Amino acid sequence: MRLRTDDDIYRARLVYLGPPGYTLPVHLPYAQYGLFLLLVPVFMFVHWLFTFDISLFPAWEIALAMVTTSFVFRHVDPDRPARKVIRTALTDWRRSREPAAEQRDPRLVATRIRVREELV
């Protein structure tokens, strides 16, 4: 007998398929659109900080936002929302652990080993 789990709500994804009659070639959850729209201005601001120039079409910023969004949502699942993934990444980036006390590997020395040739 196979028991059905109550995980149906996890399988349902809120996905925008496109305007009526014209579906998009990709199916992205609404959260990915939101993160993408948040990251594009952030990357534009970082670009402006480095160059003091505002480009007419922010192609690199859009590309970086797409890659970052796909990377974040590769680690997202129903038990680990995007907010938690981003917070974990920022925490790990800021606070890295110091290496533990230096451990030395055991040193193997072959001073007592003698190799003899056996005559057969």
Per-residue pLDDT reduced to its tens digit, 84-105: 999 988 888 776 666 666 677 7
Domain containing residue 42: 30-93
User: Residues of the chain with pLDDT > 70: what percent?
Assistant: 81
pTM of structure: 0.65
* Rounded CA separation 2/73 (Å): 31
Per-residue pLDDT reduced to its tens digit, 52-66: 998 889 999 999 999
Tokens of 20: 């009526």
pLDDT at 51 over 90: yes
Residue 101, SS3?
A: coil
Tell me whether residue 105 is in a domain.
Answer: no
Tokens of 109: 């020395």
Tell me whether residue 56 is in a domain.
Answer: yes
Amino acid 10: pLDDT: 62
Tell me whether residue 98 is in a domain.
Answer: no
Per-residue pLDDT reduced to its tens digit, 22-45: 888 877 888 899 999 999 999 999
Tell me whether residue 88 is in a domain.
Answer: yes
Q: At what angle do helices 59-74 and 30-51 cross, to 10 degrees?
A: 130
Amino acid 4: pLDDT: 61
**Do residues 37 and 62 make contact, with C-beta atoms less than 8 angstroms apart?**
no
Tell me whether residue 117 is in a domain.
Answer: no
Tell me whether residue 118 is in a domain.
Answer: no
Count of structural domains, the chain = 1
